[in-house]
Amino acid sequence: MRSWIKPAAPIEIPPPLQDIMGWSAEECRRAAPPTYPCLLDEKHVVAELYNMTNVPMGVWIDERARIVRPAEPAGASDGFRSMDRSTFQMPPEVAEKGRAARKRYVDALRDWVAKGGASEYALAPDEIRRRVAGMSETDALAAANFRLGQYLREHGHPADARRYFEEARRLCPKRWHYVRQALELDEPGKASGPEFFAAVDALGERPYYPPVVYK
């Protein structure tokens, strides 16, 4: 581990959360709080610029400030949908698949860090352009509604804000950061409560995290 990201203190991660996150025991032992500045994107500016629709998502950007891989789930999987929502326990075989998905993503990232543009996971410019979707009119309208909701809430009008949050959510239901932040602003803890899981269940067979396409 690089000296500038060594842990200030060990992090204790409960086993059920390890399974949900797809972390192995070794990764948990090495987990460290960052010692460098971290961006809190309260206005979703970065999410809008890079078309991030959920968390965790990653964008690979090289030393020339060029996108190597556009926004995609950072090793996350839909395994959490099968957990017991009262105990947060997941079936062992599902947890193992989640760890495999996380490891594959991290291994791909390490391969790119080591090999740069020669990595098999570094996408060609044409493929990057194919995968990048600009904001549609609906996306822009949803973003405007969400920001107006934030403004109203910050200025003491939570009831009015809720209407704009819900409109953003209606316009772009696949942008889960709208859904979860609106729920959390409405009531702390609500973003991982029954209303959130009802929205996830409503997906049916559709994925919550789209699979990562490596090539």
Cβ 200 vs Cβ 81: under 8 Å: yes
What is the residue whose two structure tokens read 């969400």? Answer: 146
Domain contains 209: no
Of 114, 131, 148, the residue at which a domain comes to its end is 131
Asked whether residue 30 falls in the same domain as residue 123, the answer is yes
Q: Kindly report the pTM of this predicted structure.
A: 0.83
pLDDT of residue 22: 82
Asked whether residue 33 falls in the same domain as residue 112, the answer is yes
Q: What is the pLDDT along the chain (215 residues), one digit of tens a residue?
A: 455 555 556 667 787 777 888 877 777 777 767 777 777 888 888 888 898 999 899 999 999 999 999 999 999 999 999 999 888 899 999 999 999 999 999 999 999 999 999 999 999 999 999 998 778 899 999 999 999 999 999 999 999 999 999 999 899 988 998 888 888 888 888 998 999 999 999 999 999 999 999 98
Residues in the chain: 215
Q: Can you tell me whether residue 210 is helix, strand or coil?
A: coil
Domain contains 172: yes
* CA angle, residues 27, 28, 29, in degrees to nearest 5: 90
Nearest to 121 by CA among 72, 69, 74, 77: 69
pLDDT of residue 137: 93
Domain contains 207: no
Domain contains 88: yes
Asked whether residue 120 falls in the same domain as residue 147, the answer is no
Distance between CA atoms of 101 and 36, rounded to whole angstroms? Answer: 27
